[in-house]
Structure 1
Amino acid sequence: MTLSVLAFTEAAYAAKPVGSDKGASTEQTGGGNGKGIYAAARITYSGSVAPNGGTGNVMSTNVNWTPPPCWYAPYLGAKDFKKKMSADIERQMSAPGMGGHAGAALSELKRHYEDDYGWTDTPGYKDYNVDKDGEGMFWAAVENPNELDLLKRNSCNALPFWVDNGEPPPPQYEQAITPQILAALAHQHMQLPDTEVSLAPEQTTKVNLPTWAWLDKAVFDEVQATAALNVPGFNLQATTTARPVSLTLEPGTDDAVTHPASGECTIDNDGSIGEPYARGKADRTPPCGITYLRSSGDGTYNLQATITWDISWTGTGGAGGNLPDGTFGNGQAVTVQEIQSVNR
C-alpha cells in the first residue's frame, strides 16, 4: 500500500525561511502563525549566519559531507494534529475519482490515527491520542529548504508519530532532530568573514621581487553560528565554532613560487598569519608570500587567498564534536611588471 496519495494542503512538512538581516536570527518553520494548529517546530539561526535563511559561504573540505536534507521534529499536540490531519484526510477522500488503491490507502491511514490500526511497523493511535494531549507531541518530517535535490529533501517520508514529553523518539527514526543535526545546519548557514589579505607591494609588484602576504589577528577571529529548536517541553541548541588555522595562496599562474613551497601559511603563536613587510626586508624571503617569475603583461594575475577554518560544535546536554574543516577564499588582482633598468 502506498502513502504517496496523502498530500497535505499546508506546508506542514517543509521548512519555510523567514527573512532577516545578516547576523540576526532567522527562522525556518512548518508554516502557520505559530499560535494554534500550525505551531510547528521552529529552528532559529543566530550569530554569523547568511541573511534570509540562505546557505552560508563555508566550503567543506570533505567532499562527501552534506548537511541533513530533512529531519523529524515536534509538530503538533494531539488535539491540533487531529484537527489538521482529519480535515486533510476527509478532503482527499471526498475528492472526485478518489477510489481504488488510493481510496483504500486513505481509509487505512484514517484507521491508523482513529482506530489504533498499526501501519507496517508503526503502532496505531486511538482517536489521534487526544487523551494524551499535553503529554507529548506528534513529530513530522521537515524538509531542508536549502537542499536542491528533491529526492533527498523528501527522504524523510515516515508518517507523523507520537513522542511523549521527556522521551527520545523511537530508534527507527534515525533522522529525528538532535543537537548534532542542529550543528550541521548551523554549519550550512554559517557566514565566514570576507577577509582580504594584506600584500606588500600592494596590487602591483615586480618580477622576481618577493611579495609579502599576511593577516593580522585583529582582522579575523573565531566565528560562531547557533541553531536552536524551541517548542513547549522540548528545547535543543547547538553552536558551531570556526577557528582560522591556515592561509593558502594560489598565485593565479604557474610562473610563480610560493613561500612556503606548499603555499600554506600556518597560524602563528600570536594568532596572526604571515609577517607584515617592513623596510629593510626587501632581500629576505617572506614566511608567507609569492615571488612571481613572469610579468602579467597588460592584465593581472588572480591571486586566490583561502583561509582554512577548524570547525567544532557544542550542544544541549554536553554534546559536541568536530565537523569537517571549512574554507572560504577571495580573489585579488595582482599586476606584475618587469623591472626596468637603464644601461649607460
Structure 2
Amino acid sequence: MKNRIWLSLAHMGGREQEFIQEAFDTNWVVPLGPNVNAFEKALRDFLIGNGKLKVENEGKQVVALSAGTAALHLGLILLGVGEGDEVICQSFTFSASANPIAYQGATPVFVDSEEDTWNMDPVLLEEAIKDRLEKTGRLPKAIIPVHLYGMPGKLDEILEVAGRYNIPVLEDSAEALGSEYKGRKCGTFGVYAALSFNGNKIITTSGGGALVCPSEERAKRALFYATQAREQAPHYQHEKIGYNYRMSNICAGIGRGQMFVLEEHVARRREIHDLYVKLLDGVKGVKVMCQPEGGDFNSNYWLTCITVDPEEAGFTREDVRLALDGDNIESRPLWKPMHLQPVFKEAPFYGNGTSERLFEIGLCLPSGPMLTDQDIERVVKVICDL
C-alpha cells in the first residue's frame, strides 16, 4: 500500500511543545494566561502590518477563541443581530459561515459567487439588498463575505456596496490567514473578522479561532460574551446570555509556536500551487484555480483547487476523486453551496448558477505544507493517467 497523501495536515514547527510545557510548569492550564496573551499579540502584529497600514489598523485587537465558528457568532452578537433579522451570507462556503446566523434566530440570505475569485458577487449583493428592502421594509443587519480557499474576495466592490447601504461587514477569513488584497491582510477589512485555527488550516491550535475587533473596547466586549458574560461583581452576576468560547492557554501555546512558521507555511502552499499549475499545464479539460491578474490579489492558496470540464477532459471530477482515492490520495469536492443544503432550503437566495456549477466540476487537491514535490507529482500523475 502506498503512503497516504492527505488533503491538508497540520505541521508543527518545533516551539509548540516549549510553550505547552511552560503552561504545565506554571499551572496555566485554564482559558487565560501568558500563551493566550502572547498569541493574540502575535496575530495582531502579523495582521496590522507596517507603515501606513499599521497606522490604519492600529486600533484593531484580536480575541482568541475556541473556534472560528465562535468568532463569527460573537461578531454577529456584537453587531446586534437578533431574532427576525436577516444577514447576507456567501452561499459558496462551509456551513460554519451560515450556522451562527441561525444561532441568533436570524435568517441567512444567500448570495452567489462571481467567476474570478469564486467569492461573493458584488452585483448580486446589491440586488439582494434592494430586494430584501423592498420585500421586508428593512435592510439586512450584516454581510458575511468569505475568502474561499484563501482567495480574497473583490473587497473594494463588496465594501463599496456595503458602505452605501450602511451595512456592516463581518469578514470570514477562516481560510485566508496570510492572504492579502492590495497589500493589506485579509481579516482587517470588515468591522469584525473571523479566523480559524482548525487542524487543517494555515496554522493550528488543534481547534480554535479568533475574532478581529475594531477597538480595544469592542475586544473587551467580545471577551465578556466569550467568558459567560459575567458582570463585575464579587459573586457570579449575569445580565446577558454568555458563552464558553475562550481559547485555553494550552491550545494558545500551540498557536504561539505556530506563529514562528506561519510565513513558511504560506510560502510552501504557494509553491505547491505553482507546481500544480506547471505540472497540469496542457492537461485538456483540467484548470487550476488561480488568482486574478493585476497584483491586487495575493492568495495564501490554502487549498489548490481544480475544475474538470468533462467534455474536454473525457472524465469527470468524480472520476478524478475516485482515481486519487484508489491511489491512497485524499481529495475533496468543493463546498456544496448553502442554498442547496436541506437545512437552509427555505432561505432566500440570489444566484447566477456559478456555485452550483463549480460544486459539480471542482475538486480540492492535497496542499499541506508537509507535502513534498514528489507527492504533488504523484497526484498529478494519477490525473494525467485518466
Instruction: Provide the TM-score with structure 1 as the length reference.
Output: 0.21
Higher relative contact order (CA 8 A, sep 6+): 2
Larger-gyration structure (1/2): 1
